[in-house]
Structure 1
Amino acid sequence: MTTLRTALDASSPPYQDNRAAMLARVDDLADEQAKALAGGGEKYVERHHRRGKLLARERIELLIDQDSAFLELSTLAGWGTDFPVGANLVTGIGVIEGTECMIVANDPTSRGGASNPSSLKKSARAAQIAAENHLPTVNLVESGGADLPTQKEIFIPGGGGFRNLTRASAGRRPTISLVFGNSTAGGAYIPGMSDYTVMVRGGAKVFLAGPPLVKMATGEESDDETLGGAEMHARTSGLADYLAEDEHDAIRLGRSIVRRLGHRKQGLTPPSTYADPLYDAEELLGLVPTDPKAPFDPREVIGRIVDGSDFDEFKPLYGSSLVTGWAQLHGNPIGILANAQGVLFSEEAQKAAQFIQLANQIDTPLLFLHNTTGYMVGAEYEQRGIIKHGAQMINAVSNSTVPHLSVVIGSSYGAGNYGMSGRAYDPRFMFSWVNARSAVMGAAQLAGVISIVSRASAEKKGVPFDEAADEQMRELVEAQIDAESTAYAISGMLYDDGVIDPRDTRTVLGICLSVINNLPIRGAEGYGVFRL
């Protein structure tokens, strides 16, 4: 039998403690995400509405198919920086006229929708996802352009956004711009380089230079409509392909354009019916111990996200701190690698390398569930070849060509993050649970290493070691690393695609697997040299 059995006791005190702690984190996540959803704040939202304009997420809601899901990405971009949470931009995947599309919407209530360094990273990540998964892109444009105080950080790399638009068109991934307001200076090239452009009469303003700059540069007196109004572009310049009467009309036109694209999926069509997991996703809240060092069985997670809780485990008796096996998720076949006891030994690394090769042999996507402290260290393990075996796993991950999905459900430290297809290894999508932590190592371990090195240095120099200063240093370093390794901090730097409630894991992964199937899945036909 391959149906997973659960050993979870939802009535036990440890479970209840874990659940309470996770719920507190979920509530806190809602508070942090609310900062992005609030845009520029009540004052600017009200002013925007008074002008008869829709908010970015209101536009998206009208654009996508009724009652369909919108998978918002990088919601916490910019968290922990001086820039607004959300980076003045909304990105995500939605279904328009039955077609999955990447949607990128400026939030004009937050600093006029200006682009800052976090906005740049967020839009670049959206473009990467669209390219890798062959998605049309719909831009909902209303932005004042670049955040001028940070121009030195965005001017040069910002040109990549226009390059991405032209490459998308060349790759037969249509791009559509619905222009609701300002699209100025470099931003004018967004509608200029899109395949289809819709402009709202009396609202859209698209020009390389506004009236004040034109006056300064040439002495010419002009106005917004003459320079770059929607009607001028529809009648005179030809930049506007469609002239919308208002925002609702622009959205209607956008949906009509997508409907006529004839976009078809080229990958697997999963069965329309499949079994739900046998176990309640609500129970995911109580699985993770409050102590991050305490292990938990990832099979309990797997049993609550895969179809029918059916999991065909591979090598169950070998390398037991890494669980590997086959399952289906929303009807899609998938291979799963999940950390069990945190540490990766030689056996786990070799097992993973073989399993990844097998998945590539049968063109099956891989799901990595992270909860690892990294590869085992120590004289015994070095002598047994942990470096070679870890390199085999990383080789397999690096050269695997089937799509990877990564979810950090606990910790993801050191080279274990690499071996489990962390951000540097370009998984198609990567998410973090609210309790997740990622860093080069745990905060206490990192502070301890610095302390040991400092102590050895003092002994070598023959000077007394300052114990009080060392204790203070350790406290400061631990606090710093703790703050830098949280799910919010990682997501704020765009090192994942979003922080999620554990209960949403199956739904999020189901959407991602559907998106992946816009292209055929092809496994690797060769690998680099494995050091044996």
Structure 2
Amino acid sequence: MTILADRASENRTALLDRLAELGELRAQANLGGGESAVARHRARGKLTVRERIELLLDRDSPFLELSPYAAWGTDFPVGASVVTGIGVVEGVEVMISANDATVRGGTSNPYTFRKTQRAHEIAETNRLPFISLVESGGADLPTQSEIFIPGGRAFRNLTRLSSQGIPTVALVFGNSTAGGAYVPGMSDHVVMIEGRSKVFLAGPPLVKMATGEEAEDESLGGASMHARTSGSADHLAVDELDAIRLGRQIVRSLNWRKAGPGPSQPADPPLFDPEELLDLAPADLRQPLDPRDVLARMVDGSRFDEHKPLYGTSLVTGWASIHGYPIGVLANARGVLFREDAQKAAQFIQLANQVDTPLLFLQNTTGYMVGTEYEQNGIIKAGSQMINAVSNSTVPHLTMNIGASYGAGNYGMCGRSYDPRFLFAWPNAKSAVMGAAQLAGVLDIVGRASAQARGRDYDEEAAAAMRAAVEQQIEAESVALFLSGRVYDDGIIDPRDTRTVLGLALSVIHNAPVSGLHDGWGVFRL
């Protein structure tokens, strides 16, 4: 390990503190609407959302929860009233989206939409059967202006999945009201529960207001009516456990097969202890972090065949495998990306596409190098080549932010806007247009130039206050928890779980064919 003992201790302490904070937030999210709301839910004879998921999944199989910190730092409860994630049902990897009815009746707010939209994207790209566990009062009406128009995409997404031969299943545990009625309406397979499921575009009060009709719940939208009269239900369950049994039965009958290749390399564990990643993850992002040390604690057998090790040394590239799945790695070594690094990256991405190998990006970059010398040396052209290669690469990409992800370096290293199949972050990670101090300094320089151009004195006291305020704002908005709260990643993970999470993600992406960009040009030596 190439890190001093005192610095390793500082890193470990800082990471454990952040993990403890995250653990408290996860516990809060797991409680849903709180103890009293859960007690009311149980008093109605209902299982909680996580109990439903646990019973649906195969015994002792993993569940990769996605976006668990969605809505953090907003007016909405952490988790955004829905649980999404990937699990195994009857031996099949599936995407699960489950309403938490203890949180405002399971109604959907703007962050619920972001979270479910991301789940739909992952399911479509990776060919995952989609299972909806439905119990929702529809839209959170006070925020309807933010969700009504974009929210319709959720139903469109279900039909898109079905049109691509990706099965969709809805298990309705309670109300599925208004727009929410289209979740079972748009699903291929629908299970409703006798006396529990209520599916209607308008409940009795709205029907009364709209038409004057005195309607009754069961005849208007009860499970028995939908199973026997409307045909909207395919299966009528006697209770929640029976609904889950029927859901598993449906998945078992899909005859689902992965379309991508299976593991092809020895999946032996790393030679170095993943526990030591807590010592390596820099609490202060100005600290150096050699990605080779990270890879030695993450990849199979700590084997890493480095590509072009003597050229473009601020970026490490090479070949490895995780849980038997081959990967190509691009990892920042010294923060700044130079022309040589960008050209090396573009060539390596072409090589990975040539042999149909997924790419893993380990982000820890402050961006592309600036300055007269570097501009004259073609940094824009080289950076554009790298971003072009990332944009048009067709092998699956996985991204892990293990430190900084600033400026255009975020783009070149496959940030969220470049559609990686999955993007996770360590608790110490940060991302922004630039560092807080640098951004505040830029604004200060611009302010001084503006004052000088107008012939005015520059107010140093006000400028100092402005710099402090800007630094505080940018620092708060660049931390991992803020970004995860806005669903800009798929979750913050414990560094020690990196190998496991990436292994699960690689297994998921191989549900779809894995094919590189074969355009007939061959590989350019840039």
Interval of TM-score (by shorter of Structure 1 and Structure 2): over 0.9
SS of equivalent residue, structure 1 residue 373: strand
- C-alpha contact (below 8 Å) 2:257/2:511 kept by paired residues: yes
1:433-473 per-residue CA deviation (whole Å, 9 max, x = no partner) reads 00100000000000000000001111111111100000000
Q: Is the 8 A contact 1:395 1:530 kept in 2?
A: no
Q: Is the 8 A contact 1:282 1:503 kept in 2?
A: yes
Counterpart residue identity of residue 123, structure 1? T
Give, in whole Å, the separation in 1 of the partners of 2:525 and 2:477: 35
1:322–1:339: 8 Å Cα contact kept in structure 2? yes
2:402 corresponding residue in structure 1: 409
Aligned counterpart for 2:71 among listed residues 75, 78, 88: 78
- 2:464 — aligned with what? 471
Structure 1 counterpart of 2:391:
398
Query: Deviation at 1:291?
Result: 1.8
- What corresponds to 1:58 in structure 2? 51
Residue 32 of structure 1: CA displacement? 2.0
> 1: distance between equivalents of 2:316 and 2:520?
23
Q: What do residues 292-343 of structure 1 show as CA deviations (whole Å, max 9, x unaligned)?
A: 1111111111011100000000011111111110001000000001101100
Going from structure 1 to structure 2, the CA distance change for 1:200 and 1:527 (only over 3 Å counts) comes to: farther
Q: 2:140 aligns with which of 137, 142, 147?
A: 147
Q: Distance in 2 between matches of 1:181 and 1:135?
A: 25
Task: Report matched runs for 1:312-327 at 5 Å.
Answer: 312-327=305-320
Q: Taking structure 2 as the reference length, what is the TM-score of the superposition?
A: 0.98
Give the match for residue 133 of structure 1. 126
2:495 corresponds in structure 1 to: 502
Aligned match of 1:275? 268
Contact 1:388 1:531 in 2 (8 A): no
What one-letter code is carried by the residue in structure 1 that aligns with 2:160? R
1:440 has 2:454 as partner: no
Return the alpha-carbon distance in structure 1 between the equivalents of residues 376 and 352 of structure 2.
30
> Partners of 1:7 and 1:372 in 2: how far apart?
19
2:178 is aligned with 1:182: no
Matched, 1:358 2:348: no
User: Does structure 1 retain, via aligned residues, the 8 Å contact 2:265–2:325?
Assistant: no
Determine which of 356, 364, 377 is the counterpart of 1:384. Answer: 377
Q: Which secondary structure state, in structure 1, belongs to the residue aligned with residue 88 of structure 2?
A: strand
- Measure the CA separation in 2 of the matches of 1:282 and 1:24: 15
Cα deviation 1:474-531 (Å, max 9, x = unaligned): 0000000011001011111111111111011111100000011111111012399999
How many angstroms apart in 2 are the aligned matches of 1:109 and 1:463?
59
Partner of 1:208: 201
Q: CA deviation at 1:223?
A: 1.3
Cα distance in 2 between the residues matched to 1:279 and 1:248: 44
From the superposition, tell whether residues 18 and 121 of structure 1 become closer, same or farther in structure 2 (CA, over 3 Å).
same
- 1:3 maps to what in 2? none
CA distance in 2, matches of 1:265, 1:71: 18
1:285 matched to 2:243: no
1:33 deviation in Å?
Answer: 2.0
Q: Which amino acid aligns with 2:69?
A: L
Could you say which residue in structure 2 is the equivalent of 1:523?
Answer: 516
Deviation at 1:167, TM superposition (A): 1.3
Could you say which residue in structure 1 is the equivalent of 2:13?
20
Aligned residue among 418, 422, 446 for 1:425: 418
Aligned position for 1:263: 256
Question: Could you tell me how far apart the structure 2 residues matched to 1:272 and 1:501 are?
Answer: 25
How many Å apart are 1:273 and its aligned residue?
A: 5.3
Say yes or no: does 1:40 pair with 2:36. Answer: no
Matches within 5 A, 1:198-347: 198-271=191-264, 274-347=267-340
- The corresponding residue for 1:450 is 443
CA contact (8 A) 1:145 1:184 kept: yes
CA distance in 2, matches of 1:531, 1:308: 31
Q: Is the alpha carbon distance of 1:374 and 1:468 closer, same or farther for their aligned partners in structure 2, counting shifts above 3 Å?
A: same
Structure 1 unmatched runs, 5+: 1-5
TM-aligned CA deviation for residue 54 of structure 1: 0.8
* Residue aligning to 1:372: 365
Aligned AA for 1:508?
A: V
Work out whether residues 430 and 496 of structure 1, in 8 Å CA contact, stay in contact via their aligned partners in 2: yes
CA distance in 2: counterparts of 1:154 and 1:18, whole angstroms: 41
Residue 182 (structure 1) shift: 0.4
The whole-number CA distance in structure 2 between the counterparts of 1:14 and 1:447 is: 28
Runs of 4+ aligned residues of structure 1 deviating over 3 Å after TM superposition are: 6-9, 526-532
Secondary structure, counterpart of 1:338 in structure 2 = strand
Match 2:186 to one of 187, 193, 215: 193
Aligned partners of 2:265 and 2:326 also within 8 Å: no
1:104 matches 2:97:
yes
One-letter code aligned to 1:368: F
Unaligned runs of 5+ in 2: none
Q: Tell me the percent identity.
A: 67
Tell me how far apart the structure 1 counterparts of residues 134 and 322 of structure 2 sit (CA, whole Å). 35
Which amino acid in the other structure matches residue 143 of structure 2? T
Instruction: Name the residue aligned to 2:162.
Output: 169
Give me the TM-score of the superposition, normalised by structure 1: 0.97
Matched residues in 2 for 1:495 and 1:44: separation? 29
CA contact (8 A) 2:161 2:168 kept: yes
1:347, distance to aligned residue in structure 2 (A): 0.7
| Count of aligned pairs | 525
Give yes or no for contact 2:266–2:324 (8 Å, CA) kept in 1: yes
**Do 2:282 and 2:428's aligned partners in 1 also have CA atoms closer than 8 Å?**
no
* Contact 1:370–1:417 under 8 Å retained in 2: yes
CA distance in 1: counterparts of 2:525 and 2:196, whole angstroms: 62
Contact 1:396 1:527 in 2 (8 A): no
TM superposition shift of 1:16: 1.3
> What is the RMSD computed on CA atoms of the aligned residues?
1.5
Query: Structure 1: how far apart are the matches of 2:448 and 2:56?
Result: 62
What is the CA-CA distance between 1:14 and the residue it aligns to? 1.7
* C-alpha separation in 1, matches of 2:194 and 2:428: 47
